[in-house]
Structure 1
Amino acid sequence: MSKNPFDYPEIRSRLALFVSLESALSCIQVSKGFSQDFAYPIWHTIDFGTQKTLPQKDSTILKKYGHHIRVVKGVETQAHLGLLLDLEVSQLLDLDLKTTMDTLFQASCYDLLRQNQTTLTNLKIQSKNNEYSSAKFIFLDSLVSPQPSKLTTLSIRWLTLTRDSLVSILRHCPDLDSIDLWGTTLTPSRKSDDYQHTGLTTLQIKATEAIKAGSLPLLAHFPNLIRWGIGDNTTPSAFPSQELKESISKWCPRLKTLETNFTPSLLLNHLILNVFSGLAGLLFDYKEISSNIILALLRTPSNWVHLTTYTGLIGSYDRHKDDGVAEVKDHFQSSSWMLQSVVRSCPKLVTFCFPDHEMDMDEIELSPWGCTNLSDLRVRIKGLDTRDKVERTLARLKNRKSHESLDTATEDPESIDWEGTSIEARTVRHLLQFDKLKTIWLGTGVWEI
C-alpha cells in the first residue's frame, strides 16, 4: 500500500483546498486524476486582488479550466476582463468589478455580464474611484433580456443611473432580495413608473436619493422592504424628516430594521425618536453612542429584537482567534451602566452585539437581564483580558450547556473554582441563565454553544 497521500483521490481532493495556485497549476498537469481533484477547488473562486500574476499565466492551460470558475472578485483592469473572456467563463454565480469610463473596458464588461446573465446570483458594480461619479451605468441590457435573471443581490455603487433603468432591472430580476445603491445618483424619468418589486426586502441608499422632490419616491417600488441602510451625515434640521416619515408610512409599512453607518449621534437620535416608528432592529456606529441614544432606545423597550454596532471587527470577529484578545477601546465606559438598562428592559431582545463595549460583572449582577430569549451576544467582559481566560470561560459554558443539568457536566481540568468569585466563574453563572444563547463572542473568536 502506498504511503504517499497524493496517491489517494479522497486525500488529494482535501489537500487541493490548501495548496497555492502555482502548486495547483503544476498538480493538474500530472495526470487526469490530479486534474479532476485540483481543478475545481482552485478555480471555483478567482480573486485578482490576491492572485496578481494570474493574467500572465499561459492562456492555453488556463482555458481548460475556465468552466470551473463560479466566483470572481477584484476585476479592475482590461487584462482581468480579457482573461475571463478568453477563458469563456459563462457560469458565474458571483462577480465583483470596478468600472471606468474607458470604452473598451465597458464593452468588455457588457460581454462578460451578457454571457453570465442566466447564472449570476450576486453582482457588484462600482466606480473604480469610490467617489461620486458622472459615469453612466451602461450595461443595462446585459441584465435585461428575455431569459430570466437569477440575481438575488445587486450592488451598483458610485455611478449614475436613470430611474427608468432601475425599474427595468427590477422588472427583469424577480428573485432580487437586496439592492445596494450607495453613492449612486438616480436621474429623474420623464414619466413615473409605479412598478412594485414585492420580493425585495433590503435597500441601501441615502434618504435624499430615496425621496427626491418632484418624483415618485423610490420607496414606492418596495412595499415589502424590511431593512434599510440609510447612512447620512447631515443635521436633523436639514434632513427631510416629514417627507421620509410620510413615504415610509405609505409605501413601506413593514420596515423594521435601520442601518445608519456614517450617521452622527444627533441625527441618529432624531431618526429613532421622530422619523421611524415600530423599529425592531438597529445597526449603528458605536462611536456615536451617547446617553441620548440609550434613552431613545428605552422609549420603546418592548420593540427591540436586534441591536448591533458597526466596529472594526464587523465581518472579522475571528481575527483574534489564534492570538490574544481584541483591544478594548470603549469611550462609553464611564456610562456603561446605561447599556445595562437596555438588556434589563428589552424583553424581546435576541441579538446584542456591541464588541467595542466592555461590561463590568459588578454592574451586571446588580439586576437581572430581562432579555431571556437572548441568542447572540458579542461584548467584552472586564477582567477577561487574556485569551486563556476567555477560552476557559467559553469552554466551561459550552460544557455546562451541552448537558441536561449542572451535575452531569464533566470535570474541568483547570484549577478554577466554578462556584467561586473568579471573573470566569461569575461570567459562566450569568450566561447560563440564557437557555437560547447560541452564539457568543467575548474577545477572541466566535463560539457556537
Structure 2
Amino acid sequence: MQSTSSDKSISLLDFPEIRARVATFLDRKDCVALMRVSRDCISLYKGSSLRYLSASLAQIWTYDIEDSSAPCLLEHFPLLVRWDVSSLAQPKYRTIDLKQLDFSIWCPLLKEIVIAYDSTNSAEDMSTMLLHSFGGLESCTLSVQDVTMPVPTSLLSHQESLTSITIFGKIQGTESMQCLYLILKMCQNLRVISFEQLVYDLDWADTFRWNCQDLQVLRMRFKNLDTPKSMGSCIKHICDWRRFDRCAWLLLEDAIPMASQVAEFLTQFKMLTTVWFGTRNYYLSASPS
C-alpha cells in the first residue's frame, strides 16, 4: 500500500483524498491479493467486506520493525470465507506461535483453506496450523512435496465438518497412506476427494471402510486399474449397474477383473457423478432413487 521510488517512499497518509478513495475501493472489493502492507495503512482495512484473500502468513502481519505487537490484518476481515495461503514462512521481524493462533476468533466464516506449495513450508507447521488455527474447516486444499503422516492426521480434527479435501504431493510411507485411508473412513460428510498421487488398494477396503456415502467427486488411482481400456470398462460397469439396477451385474463377463471389482466398490456411492482414475474425468449419470 505504499509507492516507493529509488530515493523516497510516499505514504497514503500524506494524501487524505487518495487515502479516502483507497478505503472506499477496499470496502467494495470481494477478493484481494496482498503483496505488502505497511503499518500506516492498517486502518484502511477496518470494516472490510472482504470474503476471499490471497496472502502468505507473513503478509497478514504488518512489516513494522519498531512495533512487534502490530495487529493481524485478519482482525479486520470478519466476512472472510476463503484464504489462499501462499507461504507459511514466519514474518521477518517477529515469531508467531501457531499453537496459540486461532483465526476463527476474527474470521468465524472462514471455512475454506488453500495452502500452496512453498519450499519453506514444513509438514510440522502445516499440521500445527490445521490443528490449532482454524475451526470447523469445510474445504481444504494442500500442496506439498511429500505427504507425511502429520499432515493427513491433522485433518481428522475437522472430520465432522470437512466436505472437500484435495492433497497434492507424493505419498511417503505406509503410515501416511493409511492416514489417508483413515480420512476416508472418519470424514463422513466428504463430497469431494482428490488424492491424485494415491494408488488405492482394494485389499484395504474392509479395514478402512469408506463412510462418505454422499461422495460426488473422486480423483484417485486404483491399483491395477491403469489402462484406458480398464478404466473405460469400469465406468461402463457403473453406468450399467445404475441403469439396469443390480440385476444386470450377473450378466457381465469381463476380461478385466479389476475393472468390475472397482466398479462394484464404487456403486455404493449413489451420488457419485465425477471420477478420475489418472488420465481424464469420467461423468456418470445419476443413480436411480
1:208–1:243: structure 2 CA closer, same or farther, 3 Å change rule? farther
Report percent identity of matched pairs: 21
Match of 1:210 in 2: 60
Please list every run of 5 or more consecutive structure 2 residues that lacks an aligned counterpart in the other structure: 11-17, 63-67, 285-289
Q: How does 1:377-388 map to 2 (within 5 A)?
A: 377-388=218-229
Structure 2 residue corresponding to 1:304, chosen from 162, 181, 192: 162
Instruction: Report deviation, 1:168.
Output: 3.9
Q: How does 1:47-196 map to 2 (within 5 A)?
A: 167-171=23-27, 174=28, 176-181=29-34, 184-189=35-40, 192-193=43-44, 195-196=46-47
1:427–1:255: structure 2 CA closer, same or farther, 3 Å change rule? same
1:231 lines up with 2:86 in the alignment: yes
Higher relative contact order (Cα pairs below 8 Å, separated by 6+ residues): 2
Q: CA RMSD in A?
A: 3.4
1:409–1:228: structure 2 CA closer, same or farther, 3 Å change rule? same
1:235–1:177: structure 2 CA closer, same or farther, 3 Å change rule? closer
Structure number with greater Rg is: 1
1:164–1:268: structure 2 CA closer, same or farther, 3 Å change rule? farther
- SS at 1:358 equivalent: strand
Cα distance in 1 for residues equivalent to 2:196 and 2:46? 41
Structure 1 residue corresponding to 2:137, chosen from 240, 258, 279: 279
8 Å CA contact retained: 1:203, 1:225: yes
Cα distance in 2 for residues equivalent to 1:392 and 1:177? 45
Match of 1:375 in 2: 216
Cα distance in 2 for residues equivalent to 1:165 and 1:244? 33
Instruction: Report deviation, 1:305.
Output: 1.4
8 Å CA contact retained: 1:374, 1:436: yes
Instruction: Report deviation, 1:232.
Output: 2.4
1:350 lines up with 2:195 in the alignment: no
Instruction: Report deviation, 1:211.
Output: 2.8
Match of 1:444 in 2: 279
1:239–1:190: structure 2 CA closer, same or farther, 3 Å change rule? closer
Deviates more, 1:367-376 or 1:433-442: 367-376
8 Å CA contact retained: 1:208, 1:240: no
So what's the TM-score if we normalise by structure 2?
A: 0.77
1:408–1:363: structure 2 CA closer, same or farther, 3 Å change rule? closer
8 Å CA contact retained: 1:400, 1:406: yes
Structure 1 residue corresponding to 2:233, chosen from 370, 392, 403: 392
1:406 lines up with 2:246 in the alignment: yes
Deviations for 1:410-437, whole angstroms, at most 9, x for unmatched residues?
Answer: 976xx5068xxx2111100111001111
So what's the TM-score if we normalise by structure 1?
A: 0.51
1:214–1:396: structure 2 CA closer, same or farther, 3 Å change rule? same
- SS at 1:284 equivalent: strand
8 Å CA contact retained: 1:373, 1:437: yes
8 Å CA contact retained: 1:235, 1:266: no
Instruction: Report deviation, 1:234.
Output: 3.2
Instruction: Report deviation, 1:310.
Output: 3.2
Deviations for 1:246-284, whole angstroms, at most 9, x for unmatched residues?
Answer: xx3443111112211123211111101222222222111
Cα distance in 2 for residues equivalent to 1:348 and 1:364? 18
1:222–1:366: structure 2 CA closer, same or farther, 3 Å change rule? same
Q: How does 1:228-377 map to 2 (within 5 A)?
A: 228-234=83-89, 238-241=95-98, 244-245=101-102, 248-261=103-116, 262=118, 263-310=121-168, 330-332=171-173, 335-377=176-218
Cα distance in 2 for residues equivalent to 1:231 and 1:296? 19
8 Å CA contact retained: 1:194, 1:220: no
1:166–1:358: structure 2 CA closer, same or farther, 3 Å change rule? farther
1:283–1:385: structure 2 CA closer, same or farther, 3 Å change rule? same
1:297–1:224: structure 2 CA closer, same or farther, 3 Å change rule? same
Please list every run of 5 or more consecutive structure 1 residues that lacks an aligned counterpart in the other structure: 1-100, 102-133, 137-161, 312-328
Deviates more, 1:218-227 or 1:233-242: 233-242
Deviations for 1:82-132, whole angstroms, at most 9, x for unmatched residues?
Answer: xxxxxxxxxxxxxxxxxxx9xxxxxxxxxxxxxxxxxxxxxxxxxxxxxxx
8 Å CA contact retained: 1:306, 1:352: yes
Match of 2:254 in 1: 416
Cα distance in 2 for residues equivalent to 1:216 and 1:366? 47
Instruction: Report deviation, 1:220.
Output: 3.6
